[in-house]
Amino acid sequence: MLTLWRNAHVATCDDSMTVYEQGAILTRSGQIEWVGDESAMPKSGPAEVRDLGGAWVTPGLIDCHTHLVFAGTRATEYAERLKGRSYAEIARAGGGILSTMRAVRGASEQELFDQSAPRLQSLLAEGVTTIEIKSGYGLTLADEGKMLRVARALQRSFPITVKTTLLAAHSLPPEFAGRADDYIQVVSEDWLPALHGEGLVDAVDVFCESIGFNVAQSERLFDAAAALGLPVKMHAEQLSNLGGSQMAARHQALSCDHLEFSTPADAAAMSAAGTVAVMLPVAFYCLAEGHRPPIAAFREARTPLAIATDCNPGSAPGTSLLLAMSMATRLFGLTSDEALAGVTRHAARALGEQDRRGVLTAGKAADFVIWNIRSVEELSYWIGFNPRRSVVRAGRVTS
C-alpha cells in the first residue's frame, strides 16, 4: 500500500541539505518512493493520506556509537571524580571499565536485557531509529557473545535497527594481565571468527590509546577483521595522539571516534579514505576534558562529521542524542546543519549504512521523525526538551 505523507517541511539531510517547505513523501513497503515539493508530485495510484499539518520531518536519527548494553552503574566513581580523583587513577585501581566488566560477567542475558532496554527506550523516544551497540565489558568469549546476543535481542523487541560491534579490545582483562599481545591474538584468531560465525558481529572496534591498545596491536586486529570481510572502526586520539586514525584510514575504517587530539594530517587521511570522524561531546563533558577536537581541520579536509551519545556507564552516562547535538554545537562549535547531518547522513556512513538510510530520498528506508518545531535549528537548541511528535520506521508509525 502506498502512503502519502503530505503538508510537511521535509529536511532531507541529503548532500546539499535540501529542505522542501511544502514537502511530501511517498512510501511503500517500508521504503521511500518519492520525496519533493507537493506541487511536483508524480501521479500515483490510490494512497493512504497522512496530513502532517505543516510539521517538520527529518530522517530517523542514528546513534552510531554506543555501549548501551551494560550492567550496573558507575555513579560512585562519578562522585569520586567530582572530588578530584581522575578517570585513569580509578581505572588503575581496578575500577573503570573493569568494574563494569565484573557487573556484566555477573549478569544473566535476561538481566542485561532488562537493564539495557530502558536506555534504548529513552533513545527511541527522541526519534532514534538506528543504533550501534558495542560489546567490550565481557572480555571473555562467552561474555562478549552474551552482550552481542542482547544487542540482537533488543532489535527483535523494539522498532529499531541495531548494528553490532565487537569491542573485545576495549581493555585488557585480568586473565591476560601483562600479556596484551597474547590477548589480541586470541581475540583475532579465536573470538572474532567464532562470534562472526554466530552472526553476531557487524563491525570490529578497538580502544587505541595509552591505557588501551597500541597501533600495532590495533592493526593486527584490523587484519583479522579484513580476512573475514568485516569493517573496522576505532576509538582514537581521545586522550593523546598515537597515530591510530591514520592507520585506521589505511584500512578504510568506517569511522574514528573521539579524536580530541587529531591533527590536520589525520583529518586529511580520514577524508581521503571516506572515514567518518565521530564526535562524542558527552564524554568530553563528563570527563571535563579541555582539548577540543579540531573542527576547523575536519571542515578544511571535508572529513564527514558525525555525532553520537557514546552511552556508557563510565565516561558518558547519557541516553539523549538531542543533548549530544546541543553539546556538539556549543562545546565543539558545529553548526546546526552540521549537527543534523551528524546524526543522519554522516552517522549512517559511520555504520556503512549510507546506501540504505540517513537521508530522505527515493530508495532509502522509510525511517523518519515528525517534530513539533518551528525551525529545524530547534533540534540542537533545546536542552532536556524533546519536541518529537511521532516516529515512523520502515513506513509504519511506531510512536
Does 235 bind ligand NIG (CB under 6 A)? Our answer is yes
Of positions 63, 219, 310, 367, contacts ligand NIG by CB under 6 A: 310
Residues 37-56 that bind ligand NIG (CB under 6 A): none
**Which residues are CB-neighbours of 72 under 8 A, at least 6 positions away?**
99, 100, 103, 115, 313
Q: For residue 381, what is its C-alpha cell?
A: 537548541
Please report how close the Cβ of residue 257 comes to Fe ion at its closest, in angstroms. 6
Which entry of ligand NIG, Fe ion, none binds 207, CB below 5 to 8 A by partner kind? Answer: ligand NIG
The Cα–Cα gap between 316 and 94 comes to 19
In the complex with ligand NIG, the residue whose CB is nearer, 312 or 326, is 312
Which entry of Fe ion, ligand NIG, none binds 269, CB below 5 to 8 A by partner kind? Answer: none
Q: Assign residue 216 a region: left if phi > 0, alpha if psi is -120 to 50, beta otherwise?
A: alpha
CA 268 to chain CA centroid, Å, is 22
Please report how close the Cβ of residue 150 comes to ligand NIG at its closest, in angstroms. 16
Does 314 bind ligand NIG (CB under 6 A)? Our answer is yes
Sketch the per residue contact string, 277 through 306, with ligand NIG: x for CB under 6 A, - otherwise. ------x-----------------------
- Phi, psi dihedral angles at 357 (to 5 degrees): -155, 180
Please report how close the Cβ of residue 124 comes to ligand NIG at its closest, in angstroms. 21
- Phi, psi dihedral angles at 30 (to 5 degrees): 80, 0
236 touches 258 (CB < 8 A): yes
Q: For residue 197, what is its C-alpha cell?
A: 560465525
Does 310 bind Fe ion (CB under 5 A)? Our answer is yes
| Closest residue by beta carbon to Fe ion | 310
Does 313 bind ligand NIG (CB under 6 A)? Our answer is yes
In the complex with ligand NIG, the residue whose CB is nearer, 20 or 284, is 284
Of positions 55, 90, 97, 166, contacts ligand NIG by CB under 6 A: 97
Single-letter code of the amino acid located at 340: L
Does 63 bind Fe ion (CB under 5 A)? Our answer is no
Please report how close the Cβ of residue 355 comes to ligand NIG at its closest, in angstroms. 27
Q: 135, 97, 63, 113: which is closest to 319 by C-alpha?
A: 63
- Phi, psi dihedral angles at 338 (to 5 degrees): -65, -40
Q: 274, 287, 236: which is closest to 258 by C-alpha?
A: 236
Residues making contact with ligand NIG (CB under 6 A):
67, 96-97, 100, 207, 235, 283, 310, 312-316
